[in-house]
Copies of this chain bind each other. A is one copy, B any other.
Amino acid sequence: MRRRSEDTKALILAAARERFAADGYDRATIRAIAADAGIDPSMVMRYFGTKERLFAAAAEFDLELPDLTSVPGDDVGATLVAHFLDRWERDETLVILLRTAVTNEAVAERMRSIFSAQLVPVAAKISGDHAAARKRAALAASQILGMALCRYVLALPSLGTMTRQELVDWLGPVVQRYVASPA
C-alpha cells in the first residue's frame, strides 16, 4: 500500500507510543512497533533514524499545569491531584516516561527536570516558602507519582476501582499540605 509520508510517520508514532507505554524502552522492539503499524521495520529507521530518536519523538511531554492564581488557597491540593489524574488518563506519555525512567538514566533525568522546572515554581508560589520549595515539590511528586505507579503501572486492584473523586478526596489534602502548609 502506498501512503503519504506524514501518514506513515503518524502511524509509526502512534504504534510506538502504545508499545513504549506497554513495555518500556527496552522491551518495545522496532520490529513489533512496525508490525503494529502494518509496515516494514526499515521504514521506522527511515523516518526516525534510530530507536532513541523514535523514543524522543514518542515521549514529548508537558505537564500543562493550570494557572493556580485564581484557585482558592485551600483548593490547590485537590486541583493539582485532579489535574494530574486527568493528564495521566488522557495521555499515555507519563506511563511511557515512568516505565522507562526506572532503568534509563537519561529518561530519569528528564523526569527530574520536568518536575523541577514545572512543579517547584508552583510550590514556591503557593507556599511562599522559597527556601524549601524543592523539598515541597519533591514530596508532592512522591505522592502523585506513587499513586500513578500503583494505579497505572503496578495496577493495584483497589486503586483501580477507586473513582477519580475518591482519589481527589484522599490525596488532595496530602498534596495541599506538601505544597501549601505554612513554613
A: which residues have CB within 8 A of B?
23-24, 26-27, 98-99, 101-103, 108, 111-112, 115-116, 134-135, 137-139, 141-147, 149-151, 153-159, 162, 166, 170-171, 173-174, 177-178
Contacting residue for A103 out of B27, B112, B115, CB 8 A: B27
Contacting residue for A146 out of B23, B116, B146, B170, CB 8 A: B146
Q: Give A139 to B150 CA distance when docked, in angstroms.
A: 9
Known: A26-B103, A103-B24, A103-B99. Contact between A112 and B155, CB under 8 A?
yes
A86 to chain B, nearest CB (A): 18
Q: Which residue of B lies closest to A151 (CB)?
A: B142
Say whether chain A's binding surface is mostly helix, strand, loop, or mixed.
helix
Residues in chain B near residue A116, CB distance under 8 A:
156
Residues in chain B near residue A155, CB distance under 8 A:
108, 112
Contacting residue for A24 out of B102, B143, B147, B157, CB 8 A: B102
Given known contacts A135-B162, A135-B166, what 10 new A-B pairs fall within 8 Å (CB)? A23-B103, A24-B103, A26-B103, A102-B149, A102-B154, A142-B143, A143-B146, A144-B146, A146-B147, A174-B174
Contacting residue for A158 out of B24, B135, B170, CB 8 A: B135
Contacting residue for A153 out of B102, B139, B174, CB 8 A: B102
